[in-house]
Amino acid sequence: MRDPLRRLLHRGLEVSGLIGPLHRRQERRHAELSSDPYQDGLPMPPAALIGAVAGTGSQRWYSEKGKQDATWFISVAASHGATWDGARVWDLGCGCGRIARWIAPDVLKSGGDFLGTDINRALVGWCDANLPGRYLRNSLQPPVKRASGDRDLVYAYSVFTHLRETAIRSWLAEIARVLRPGGLAMLTFHDEAYAAAWGPESVRVSLQSAPLVIFNDALEGSNYLSTWIRRSTFIALAEEHFSVLEIVPGRGDEPVQALAVLQKRS
């Protein structure tokens, strides 16, 4: 469907309040259609939960891409001198533990502590019952129930991609509060490179001049709403609280989001 027509239809559904149930039904249908059994040594979430975070129910994709993204976070943090052994780690917007399942076991074995939080009760409930680590619900806006300086490492994969600017600003401040001085945050986002390869046309065009674009502006925190941010915008927001160590642009060859590596100032 062409963009203006699609926008009109979606706007009607958003205003009528029908978009929430319809979006969730579509997620479940996609998940059921693509569900496939796969083992990786830990319990696998049901297709409906995988679908709620990934837009597919494929257990193979979920497991293998989760491992790939976890390995990425581990190596990027290590390249900036961070130690995972014994670290106090926080996965913000952990979903049903796609990445946590590859990180939490080793962190716990090395004497560290692993916390996952998410706004979706069903997702953190499943993690808490099935995965190593502790999992809590947080609200759309901070705070998270943690003391200041409580964590050494924080990562969030595809969470800032579903928040409006106000929530992005408050979560950046909250992550800075919860990190110890010198601690590292790794946060992914949809930048202009990712938009050029994978974004809807209206977003690609708008992002050439706009600092931040919201696509489907309803159901904040769900995959329905998507947020697109120029790298320079993300840097400016992050620099209010952090030293920006590295920005890895989003990839065009495969759908890997941009990554901001931030350090809490000492």
Ligand X SMILES: C[S@@+](CC[C@H](N)C(=O)[O-])C[C@H]1O[C@@H](n2cnc3c(N)ncnc32)[C@H](O)[C@@H]1O
Contact predicate 235/224, CB 8 Å: no
Per CB under 6 A, 26 contacts ligand X = no
Task: Pick from 45, 51, 57, 93 the residue near ligand X by CB under 6 A.
Answer: 93
Per CB under 6 A, 227 contacts ligand X = no
Task: Pick from 140, 201, 208, 243 the residue near ligand X by CB under 6 A.
Answer: 140
Task: Pick from 44, 103, 123, 175 the residue near ligand X by CB under 6 A.
Answer: 123
Contact predicate 212/227, CB 8 Å: yes
Per CB under 6 A, 130 contacts ligand X = no
- 244: part of which helix (H) or strand (E)? strand 242-248
Cα separation, 205 vs 253, in Å, equals 20
Minimum distance from CB of 56 to ligand X (Å)?
11
Task: Pick from 76, 82, 99, 153 the residue near ligand X by CB under 6 A.
Answer: 99
The HSE-up count of residue 239 (CA atoms within 13 Å, CB side) is 8
Rg (CA), the chain: 18
Write the CA distances from 194 to 55, 113, 261, integer angstroms. Answer: 18, 33, 17
Give the range of 125-133, 157-165, 201-209, 211-219 binding ligand X by CB under 6 A.
157-165
Dihedral, 12, 13, 17, 21 alpha carbons, nearest 10: 180
Residue type, 195: A
Contact predicate 188/259, CB 8 Å: yes
Per CB under 6 A, 133 contacts ligand X = no
Site string for ligand X, 179-208 (x = CB under 6 A): ------------------------------
Cα separation, 74 vs 78, in Å, equals 6
Per CB under 6 A, 162 contacts ligand X = yes
Minimum distance from CB of 266 to ligand X (Å)?
27
Per CB under 6 A, 257 contacts ligand X = no
121 Cβ contact list (under 8 Å, min separation 6): 137
The residue with its CB nearest to ligand X is 95
Helices (H), strands (E): how many in the chain?
10, 9
Phi, psi of 47 (to 5 degrees): -55, -40
Per CB under 6 A, 98 contacts ligand X = yes
Per CB under 6 A, 159 contacts ligand X = yes
The count of chain residues that interact with ligand X, using the rule CB under 6 A, is: 22
Ranges within 51-90 binding ligand X (CB under 6 A) = 53
Per CB under 6 A, 118 contacts ligand X = yes
Residues making contact with ligand X (CB under 6 A): 53, 92-95, 98-99, 117-120, 123, 138, 140, 157-159, 162-163, 167, 221, 223
